[in-house]
Amino acid sequence: MNSLLQTSIFSSLEDELKLVASKIESAKVVQLMAPADIEGVLALAQLESALLDNSQHYRRRVLSPRRHVSRDHVPELPEVDGLIIHIDPFHETQSAIEINDDYVHIFPLSVSVKFGSSSKEHNGAVECVAICAAIASILAPEGARVRKQRSMAISGSWLRGGADSDYDPVLSLIREHLDSEGSVDICPLPEVPSPEIEMIPG
């Protein structure tokens, strides 16, 4: 399993991600909170896998779904002790993670990425699932549960609206990284032994 931090997606976010990971490692108890939408649950699973691999004490709270709530709605979080990690996949895209003493707010982040030796920059957004997967890989780089969850790191970008019709540089880079490390196997449809024909659009 290769570090997600090796990709150009996370190069500008590495310091922030390591700071979040160090806060989690030093916390007496971690309070994970995410909405009851698939994007929130998949991101939650990434962090939970690392905490379980490290035998670290945590609590999980699944909040009300946010998919059909306006983006300017501010969710009310329960008052709890410990470090709150609030995963907010439907928040407006920002440029940096919100990190305070006892509160970390994770939402989609805007990034500029490069492909290989090309100097051309492409703009995109890193979804919460990939961000949480990167944090999990810092917390438990060789964790068995982190490894099992790794293939789902791409799911946030996949679920993002327009992935079927628009070019997404972040999805492309994560897909290439996961394919090269063996977490997923990318191949043309004719090479799939038993494809689910019903899932193919058109």
Q: pLDDT tens digits, residue range 70-96?
A: 767 777 888 899 999 999 999 999 999
User: Which domains are assigned to the chain?
Assistant: 4-183 (3.90.1640)
Cβ–Cβ under 8 Å, residues 65 and 35: yes
Average the pLDDT over 1-5 and give the result. Answer: 80
Distance CA 143, CA 53 (A): 5
The tokens for 88 are: 């907010």
- Which pLDDT score, from 0 to 100, does residue 4 have? 85
Cross-strand bridge partners of residue 103 = 84
pLDDT at 99 over 70: yes
pTM recorded for the entire structure: 0.90
Place of tokens 């905490």: 51
Q: Is 137 helix (H, G, I), strand (E, B) or coil?
A: helix
Q: pLDDT tens digits, residue range 108-117?
A: 999 988 777 6
